[in-house]
A and B are shown apart, each in its own frame.
Chain A
Amino acid sequence: MGDMIWLVPLIPMLSSILLMLGSGSLPRVIIGLLGVCSVGAAAVLTLLVGLDFLANPQPFQMTLWTWMQVGNFSPGIAFYFDGLTLVMMSVITGVGFLIHLFSTEFMEEDVSYARYFAYLNMFVAAMLVLVMADNLLLLYLGWEGVGVCSYLLVGFWYQNSANGQAARKAFVVTRIGDTAMALGLLLLFTQLGTLDIQAMMGVANEQWQVGDTLPLIACLLLLGGAVGKSAQLPLHTWLPDAMAGPTPVSALIHAATMVTAGVYLIARTNGLFLLAPTAMMIVALIGLATSLMAAFTALMQSDIKRILAYSTISQIGYMFLALGVGAWTAGIFHLMTHAFFKALLFLGSGAIIHYLHHEHDIFKMGGLRSKMPVTFWSFMIGSAALAALPMTSGFFSKDQILLQAYLQPDAGPWLWLGGLLGALLTAIYSFRLVFVVFFGEAKTQPDGDTGWRMALPLVVLCGLAMVGGYFIIPVAEVFPVASGEHPANWVEYVSISVPLMGLLLSYLIFHSGQLNVDKLVNSSLGQWLRRFWHSGWGIDWLYDRIFVRPYYRLSGIMVNEPIDAIYGLIVAINQTFNHWLAESQTGRMRWYIASMVFGLILVLTLALQISAEAL
C-alpha cells in the first residue's frame, strides 16, 4: 500500500489542473464532485496507507525522481512516511474533505465556483507535499505552495481591493519568514551537506554538540519560517487580515492545516532543535507570549472571524510552547485536536455568516440558539473543546501541554502559570462568543439552518472534537522518549479547574450579567487597554510605521531612477558642448573661411615649431 502514497497529493493536484482548464465549461455539479471527490479519494488512500502502517509501523521513504543534481546537492522529489506524516496527512485529507463538502454549499452562489475548488484542491496537494516531503527543499516547495494558495484564496474575491491587500499582506509577511527559512536551508546544506531530513539530523548529531552556535543559528532561521507561517510573534499580523477569504478557507488554511505547518516543521526537525536548547527556550517563550497576546486581543474583538483568528494564533502559541518544552507529542496532539475543533468553529461561523447575509459583527447577532440548532451545538462543542473543558478533545491535549510545561527544568512553573492564564482567557473569550451570539435576544433573522452538505461536516467534526482526545497518535517512534515524570497532583487539579473558572466568569459577565465589569472597562485605563488590545497590541500600527510606510516613501523617492540622474549629467555636459559648437556654425561663409585660415596658421605654426625643434 505504501508505494501508493505519491497518489495522495497527485489526485488533488490533477483535479485542480482539470478544474482550472475547464473553469469556463464544466457544469457546477461536476465541479463540486471533482473538487470534493479528489480530496475524498486522497483521504481514502491515506486511510488505507495508514491502516497498513499501523499494522506494521515501519517508516519508509520513497523517491519518485531526483529533483536536481548539482555536485553533491541532490534533493529528490521524495516522500517520507512515518507516524507524524500519517497524523498530518489524516488531518489534511480528513478535515480537508469535510471542508470541501461544506464549501459546495457555502460557495454555491459564487460565479467563480471552479476557480475556488481549483485553488482549494491545489492547497490540499501542496499541504500534503509539505508534510510528506523527505527533504527540506521539497518541504519548502510545499511550504511556498500553500502560501500561494493561501494568497489566492484570501484574495479570492479580488474585486475588493481590501481583500487583495489582506492577501498580499499574508503572502509578504510569511515570505519574510520563508526567506529566513531559506537561509536556514542554505546554512544547513553548507554545514551538513544534505537537506534530507533524516540524514541531516543524523549528521547534525555527529557533527554538532548540544549548545553549539551553528545549530542555534540554523534553528532560529528555521524558526523564522515557522513563526511566519504559523502566525506567531512577531510575524502574526497577517492572520487576522487573512479572514477576508471565504470562511471555509479560513477553516482549512488558517485554522486546521497551513498555519500549523510551523509546528510541523519544528516537530519534524526536532533532532536539530534538541541540539539548541536556547532555540527551544525561544520557541517556548514565543509560543507563550503569542498565546497570551492573542488571547487578550481575542477578548476585545467583535468580528466573529477575527475572534477565531486570534484564538487560532493563541492556540498555535500553545503548540509552540509544547514544542519548546520538548512536549513534542503533546504539541502534535494539540495540533490535531485543534484542527478538529477550530475547523468546527470556523465552519460554524461560516454557517452563521452564510445565513446571516455576511454579517460578521457578533453584537449584531444574538439568540441564534433556537434558529440554528446544528450550528449552536457545533459552537458549543467547539468552544468547549477550545476552552479545554474536561472530556473534550482540547482538554486532553492542552492538559498535557500544561503539565509538561510545568516540568520544564529552567522556567517550568512560570511557563505553566502563563499557560494557565492563557487557558483562563481562552475559556472566557470562547464562551463570550457563544453567549453573545446564541443567547440573549435575537437581533437578526437567519435564512434558516444548514443544509445537509453543511450539516454533515459540522456533525462529523463535532464528533471528532469530542472524541479526538482519545485517539492515540502513532508518533512514539518519531520523537525522543518523554521522561515519564509526572508533576504533583495539585498541578493537575489546578490545570483542570482553570478553564471551568473561565467558563463561570464568562457566564457571569456575558450571560447572566451578575458580574458587572462596566466600571472596570470604562475607567480610563480600562478604555486604553481595551483599545490597545483591540488593535492587537498596536503591532500592526508599529509595523506600518517602521516598515510599510518607509518602503512606500523609499519607492516614491526612487521612482524616477536616481542612477539615471548621473547619466543625465553626462548627457547635459555633452549637450552644453554641443551647444557651444553649434553656436559657431553661424552659416556665414566669411566666418568659416576666417576660421579655416586661423586653423591653417595654427597648423603651420605648429609645423614650423616642430621642424625648428627637429633642427
Chain B
Amino acid sequence: MLEITLFYIAATIALVATVLAMTRANAIHALIYLIVSLLAVAVIFFLIGAPFAAALEIVIYAGAIMVLFVFVIMMLNLGEEGDARERGLLQPSIWAGPTVLSLLLFAELLYMISTIEGPVSTQAVSAKEVGLALFGPYVLAVEIAAMLLLAGLVGSFHLGRRYLEREE
C-alpha cells in the first residue's frame, strides 16, 4: 500500500516538475525542475523493482548529464534579456497548436495502453542479473553503445575545441 502511495506521489512530482521545466523562461530554473523530475522517476524505478536503474538514473542522468547542461548554460552566460525574450515567446498563439498535436498523440498512446492490464512485479531485478544479461545476450548492444559514446566523444571534442580556439 505504501509503495502505491509513494508511486502516485512520485508520479505527480515528476509530471508537475516536468511541466514546470518546460515552461520556465530561465534555463537554470528549468534545469532544476528537470532534475527534480528525474529524481522522481528514479523513485518510481526503485518502487517497481529496478534499484540498479534508479541508481543509474540519479548518478548519470541527474548527476552527470544535467551537470553538463549547467556547465554549458553557465559558459554561455545567458542574462536577464534572454529570460525576458523567452517569456515573451510563451504565448498561447505559439503553444496552442502544438498542444493540440500533443494531446492528439497522447490520446492515441492512451488508447494503445488502455488494453494493457496487470501489475508490475515487486520482485527486484538485481544488478547482478542486469550485468549477466548485459554481457551475455546483449554484448553486441554494449559494443554498439561503446561506439556511439566514442562518436559522441569525438564529436563533442571537435565542436568544443573549435569553440575554444576561435574564442582566443
Contacts and interface: CB of A to CB of B under 8 A. Distances in A.
Q: Do chains A and B touch in the complex (CB under 8 A)?
A: yes
Interface of A: 590, 594, 597-598, 600-601, 604-605, 608
B101 A597 contact: yes
Nearest to B97: A594
Contacts of A594: 97-98, 101
B97 A604 contact: no
A597 B102 contact: yes
21 contacts: A590-B98, A594-B97, A594-B98, A594-B101, A597-B98, A597-B101, A597-B102, A597-B105, A598-B101, A600-B105, A601-B101, A601-B104, A601-B105, A601-B108, A604-B105, A604-B108, A604-B112, A605-B108, A608-B108, A608-B111, A608-B112
Contacts of A597: 98, 101-102, 105
Contacts of A601: 101, 104-105, 108
Nearest to B108: A604
Task: Please list the 10 inter-chain residue pairs (A to B) with the smallest Cβ-Cβ separation, ordered nearest first.
Answer: A604-B108, A597-B101, A601-B104, A601-B105, A594-B98, A594-B101, A597-B105, A598-B101, A601-B108, A600-B105
Interface string B108-130: 10011000000000000000000
Nearest to A612: B111
Contacts of B108: 601, 604-605, 608
Nearest to B104: A601
Max chain A C-beta neighbours (<10 A), residue from B97, B98, B101, B111: B101
Interface string B137-165: 00000000000000000000000000000
Given A594-B98, A597-B98, A604-B105, 4 more contacts: A597-B102, A601-B104, A608-B108, A608-B111
A502 to B, nearest CB: 106
A605 B112 CA distance: 11
Nearest to B94: A590
A600 B106 CA distance: 12
Contacts of B105: 597, 600-601, 604
A604 B106 CA distance: 11
A434 B102 CA distance: 110
A294 B163 CA distance: 97
A573 B6 CA distance: 62
Contacts of A590: 98
B114 to A, nearest CB: 11
Interface string B76-111: 000000000000000000000110011011001001
A605 B105 CA distance: 9
A594 B96 CA distance: 12
Contacts of B101: 594, 597-598, 601
A594 B99 CA distance: 10
A600 B108 CA distance: 11
A590 B108 CA distance: 22
Contacts of B98: 590, 594, 597
Nearest to A598: B101
Contacts of B104: 601
Nearest to B101: A597
A90 B108 CA distance: 105
Max chain B C-beta neighbours (<10 A), residue from A594, A598, A604: A604
B106 to A, nearest CB: 10
B136 to A, nearest CB: 33
A601 B105 CA distance: 6
A594 B111 CA distance: 21
Nearest to A611: B112
Contacts of B102: 597
Contacts of B111: 608
Nearest to B105: A601
Contacts of A600: 105
A600 B104 CA distance: 10
Nearest to B112: A608
Contacts of A608: 108, 111-112
Contacts of B97: 594
B22 to A, nearest CB: 14
A594 B105 CA distance: 12
B91 to A, nearest CB: 13
A428 B36 CA distance: 126
A604 B113 CA distance: 13
A76 to B, nearest CB: 80
A594 B112 CA distance: 22
B72 to A, nearest CB: 18
Contacts of A598: 101
B73 to A, nearest CB: 19
A38 B101 CA distance: 98
A600 B102 CA distance: 11
A601 B100 CA distance: 11
A607 to B, nearest CB: 9
B76 to A, nearest CB: 18
A606 B136 CA distance: 38
A590 B90 CA distance: 14
A605 B111 CA distance: 11
B93 to A, nearest CB: 13
Contacts of A605: 108
A598 B105 CA distance: 9
A515 to B, nearest CB: 109
Nearest to A605: B108
